[in-house]
Amino acid sequence: MSLAGKKILIGVCGGIAAYKIPLLVRLLKKNKAEVRVVMTASAIEFVSPLTLSVLSESKVLYEFQDEKHQWNNHVELGLWADVFLVAPATAKTISAMAHGYADNLLLTTYLSARCPVFVAPAMDLDMYSHLSTKKNLEKLAQFGNHIIESTEGELASGLVGKGRMEEPEKIFLSLQKFFENKERLKGKKILITAGPTHEKIDPVRFFGNHSTGKMGYAIAKVAADNGAEVKLISGPVHLKLEHKNIEIISVESALQMYDEVERNFDSCDVAIMTAAVADYRPEQVAAQKIKKEDELLNLKLIKNPDILKEMGKRKKHQLLIGFALETQNAVENAQKKLTKKNADLIVLNSLENQGAGFAHATNQVDFVTPEGVQHFDLKLKSEVAEDIINFIIENM
């Protein structure tokens, strides 16, 4: 796909990997993209603004005011771009982006940008593997940003490991793929459930499960990036996701989730049930806080509706995808669920696999379909989401 006419804004931070940016700008310009560059003050010590200005055929900005004391409008920059790429993204800038700091032109542009944002980290391996960096990158991904993972290799410190910024050719391909994907699900409506449900016991207590919603939110983002119109019905989670193609409907209980799914199911093309919905709820919810008096507290539980099964009964044109978290006889149980729920795909994951299941950034899944079982290795949940979206596109 040609990038002709695409407006690419590149934010360059102060790291040795900045030497690769002229190569990236040249690649983008050869493919007819419009390119503008904004830099941090420290970045100009690694690569010349004049070089980037000549290659991009546009003035490079790195201060709030130019030499004539004219204001460099960060809002205008953010509105101009179809994509904002921050590369190399240093640990300092990643932290500032994650926490909303705005003390330079690049950061104020980031906070003003309404377009998709790509982040290509570059730093030493200990910095890259530090928990604070991992959390900041995870937070940026939750904001809806695209993280271009660093690669392994020789670093400026002389150490060898992960932390190298991805090569310009690979970054170019990531941008190219993004623009290609934007059309793949255009006009399709996808319904997704995510997270746990909380079943009230009294005004202050509930029972639930350990689901964080990460998998469902990752799928919603990838679906929206591929052009789909997404309705995300979310149980109580601590995640945020902003995307013009995503409407988030917040619910608390299994009954509320069922009502919202039922209301939106007939109009969707694909339904993906990732939520960990409580199987049971208290028959009665106490009006006041239950006091700790007796040795035993007896609660009578009644069954919640089986959302996946009920949608399997009423589906017509929809592609229906369910999830199964198993602790034993995993494949056999998933195959039974596929038939019983009239689903087109069961995404199976097991708590027996290290790095899979609740709370992790990674997951290891098998796709169980009427045709058989497809095994996948452990990978990031964002990559699992891409596998699921690819399955949808192939089977629509």
User: CA 59, 65, 67 angle in degrees (round to 5)?
Assistant: 70
Q: Any known ligand binding at 192?
A: no
Strands 345-350 and 319-326 come out as parallel
337 is in an annotated binding site: yes
105-117: string of b/e by CB count within 10 Å (b at 16+)? bbbbbbebbebbb
Q: Distance between CA atoms of 227 and 3, rounded to whole angstroms?
A: 17
Residue 124 marked ligand-binding: no
User: Which stretches of the chain are DSSP H helices?
Assistant: 21-30, 49-56, 74-80, 91-99, 105-112, 125-129, 131-142, 168-181, 214-225, 254-265, 307-314, 330-340, 381-395
**What is the b/e burial string over 81-90, where b = at least 16 CB atoms within 10 angstroms of the residue's CB?**
bbbbbbbbbb
Angle between helices 21-30 and 168-181 (to 10 degrees): 40
| Dihedral, 290, 296, 302, 306 alpha carbons, nearest 10 | 100
Q: Determine whether the annotation assigns residue 305 to a binding site.
A: yes
Residue 209 bears catalytic tag: yes
Q: Is 323 annotated as a binding residue?
A: yes
Find the angle CA(390)-CA(395)-CA(396) to the nearest 5 degrees. 100
279 annotated binding-site participant: yes
Catalytic position from the list 31, 209, 342, 353: 209
Residue 308 is labelled as binding a ligand: yes
Contact by Cβ (8 Å): 301, 281: yes
**Binding-site residue ranges for CTP:** 279, 289, 305-308, 323, 337, 341
Q: Which amino acids are annotated catalytic?
A: 209
